[in-house]
Amino acid sequence: MALLPLCCGAVTAGFMCHLFYFRLGEHLDDAPKILLLSVFSPVALLNGLTVLGYSIREATTVVIVLWASFVGGLWTSMSVYRAWLHRLRDYPGPFLARISKFWYVWQTSDLKDYKHIQEWHEKYGDYVRTGPNEISIADPDIVEIVHGGRSQCTKSIWYNIGFPMMTLHQMRDKKMHERRRRAGWDQAFNVQSLRAYDDRVVSCTDMLLQQILSLAGQSVDVSKWMTYYTYDVMGEVAFSRSFDALKTGQAHFAIKIMHQNLIPLGLFQHTPWLLHIMTKLPAKMMPMTKFLEYCESCVAQRKSVKPEKPDVFHHLLREPFFGNAHDDHQLLVGDSRLIITAGSDTTAAALTFALYHLASEPALAEQMRSELFSNGIDSAQVAKPTALQHLPYLNAVIQETLRMHPPIPNGVFRDSPAQGLTCGDRYIPGNVTILTPTYVIQRSPKAYKQPDSFIPERWTTRPELLINRGAFLTFGGGASSCIGKQLAYMEMRTVLAKLVLEFEIKFDSLEDGQALLNETKDCFTCILAPLHLVFSSRKRR
């Protein structure tokens, strides 16, 4: 068999495959099929050649040569196009990043994604090409353009991970997302509903205080206890049931499984097609299966009871979305996963970093106490959510914590509109993925003076330290902003106020907080490194 003509044909086929398929449109949903085709087409060709009378050795040689030629043609076309012909070719960034996202995955395999992004922006500037069709933009002015209420950007293909399992967070169609928010979610988090959750938040907070009181004078890993607290709150608020993590002092198995699943998300979040393939693996091979089964049981159990007080699912169950029982049930299971994870890990991270700063700078806690006392709040018993809502300094400490330590530090992805967009004097082409790196933007000297210093007063008495207030991106923006924002604030105010009223907060003798700052893993949300603090009971005034 003359291999040269066949090799030329295979190389040409590789070129054509890139130019007329992979270069155009989205292919995440096709990824499992492409993988199967890549595996079985050489096998089928090998089998066909042996049927035609070729020896195994000859057939194997032909298959290897043709397959290598095809893949070589595909990757050559892909590499040349991405490196020198792509519409993002003029944007600076690591050279290998423009060829393949696998380079990015390799570079961020230490799960410190946001720190690498920060380093690249320090080296290349506010606009960095971080992938073949991806650009990271740290210019604070991009926030309103990409995430504002009038933005024409759309959620990227990243949000299709796990399809057909869907949550509110993953809905890419703006009209569908808006309709879903109105179908129960807005009611579940409006002012009236939040007031109905007050008692549950206070009850969980008091349980947390009891546990910390029992450990007074001892080393306490607050990373764990804040996680226990926020998971218990979300269980109570969403399903009218607790995970009992605070009561037992142990992580619920669902928490453990969820954190196990965050590791592959952190590793491969920049190759969503690979994550999508992983979701198609047999259920027994996927740790996520057990977590989804637990979510399913939470939904089923919640459907079977009628709590005395409304919870989140009270509103979601009243508003069927698709109009058929199966799809509505699957959506509820997906949304239960969203509630448990997004509503827990994020708030736990914020609380832990806030406590780090309170231990680092005792004057912060003193000023918080002074504000509480001046408003007649002199004990944990009277520190109710409604009484804490409008305290400027307490809110400023929380706001500054969220600025410096956003719980989703790497940010989120959006696709530019077909016509492209302009930020200042920079034109971003259409149909490219834009990363707005929250951690980097919220420490930009273009947005904040002394950006690496923890100064709560920038939100109260020193507004001159704010250059671009719109650069605050922790809760997103526009129609896709975090719907649980006010609940998160309620939890943070209540916990921090009660803790500073009841305890002096210091580092453990062997703790300096550096592990939390440097070893916390970025897995979309954070997997917190330990933070060991000592809580000592305060004398009453």
Q: Does the annotation place 482 within a ligand binding site?
A: yes
**3-state SS, residue 28:** helix
Sequence letter at residue 453? S
Distances (CA, A) of 197 to 12, 201, 240, 384: 63, 6, 10, 12
Is 388:377 a contact under the CB 8 Å cutoff? yes
- Cα(first)–Cα(last) distance of the chain, in Å? 95
Cα–Cα distance, 48 to 51 (Å, whole number): 5
Query: Radius of gyration (Cα) for the chain, nearest Å?
Result: 26
Is 449:442 a contact under the CB 8 Å cutoff? no
HSE, side-chain direction, 13 A CA sphere, residue 300: 7
Distances (CA, A) of 498 to 345, 474, 490, 492, 502: 21, 24, 12, 10, 6
Cα–Cα distance, 137 to 162 (Å, whole number): 27
Q: Report CA 521 to chain centroid distance, whole Å.
A: 12
Selection from 432, 474, 492 nearest residue 137 by Cα:
432
Cα–Cα distance, 353 to 407 (Å, whole number): 10
Binding residues: 482
Binding residues for heme: 482
